Amino acid sequence: MKIEKDISNLEPQMLKDKEYLWNCPEPGLKEIKTSAYILNRLKEMGYEDIDTNIFETGIIATLKGENPEKNNTCILFRSDIDAVVMDSTGRTKHTCGHDAHMTILLSLAKILMDNKDKIKGTIKLLFQPDEEGDGGANAMIQNGALENPKVDKAFAIHVWSELKEDTIGIKPGAVMASTDPFEILIHGKGGHAAMPEKCIDSIYIANVIGKKIKEMAVLDNEDLDKKVVLGITSISGGKNNNVIPDEVYLKGICRTFDNTIRKEIKENLEKTVTEVANQMGATAELKFIGNYPATVNSEIEAKQIQEIAKNIVENVNTNYRTMCSEDFSYFLEKVPGAMIFVGCQREKYYPQHNENFTVGINSILIGTQMFYEIAKKYVM
Complete DSSP assignment for 155-204 = EEEEEEEEEETTEEE--SEEEE--B--EEEEEE-B-EETT-GGGSB-HHH
Q: What is the CA radius of gyration of the chain?
A: 23
Report yes or no on whether pTM surpasses 0.85: yes
Same domain, 153 and 54: yes
User: Residue 65 has what pLDDT?
Assistant: 86
Contact (CB, 8 A) for 236 and 249: yes
Same domain, 25 and 120: yes
- The residue ranges of DSSP E strands in 32-102, in sequence order, are 50-51, 59-64, 74-80, 84-85, 92-93
User: Residue 219 has what pLDDT?
Assistant: 54
Same domain, 30 and 149: yes
How many domains, in total, are found in the chain?
Answer: 2
Indicate the residue among 238, 267, 288 that finishes a domain.
288
Q: Which helix (H) or strand (E) holds 43?
A: helix 32-45
- CA 298 vs CA 145, 188, 290, 358: distances in Å: 20, 48, 25, 30
User: Residue 290 has what pLDDT?
Assistant: 77
- CA 33 vs CA 82, 89, 113: distances in Å: 11, 20, 24
User: Residue 114 has what pLDDT?
Assistant: 97
Same domain, 32 and 66: yes
Indicate the residue among 256, 288, 320 that finishes a domain.
288
Enter the DSSP assignment of 83. Answer: P
Q: Count CA within 13 A, CB hemisphere, residue 204.
A: 14
Contact (CB, 8 A) for 119 and 105: no
- List, for the chain, all residue ranges whose pLDDT scores fall below the cut of 70: 67-69, 218-222
Contact (CB, 8 A) for 159 and 363: yes
- The residue ranges of DSSP E strands in 1-46, in sequence order, are none
Q: Looking at residue 129, which CATH number applies to its domain?
A: 3.40.630.10
Enter the DSSP assignment of 40. Answer: H
User: Residue 218 has what pLDDT?
Assistant: 62
- Domain interval for residue 244: 182-288
In this predicted model, what pLDDT tens digit does every residue of 331-359 receive, in sequence order? 999 999 999 999 999 999 999 999 999 99
Pairwise CA distance, residues 114 & 74, whole Å: 19
User: Residue 287 has what pLDDT?
Assistant: 96
Enter the DSSP assignment of 69. Answer: G
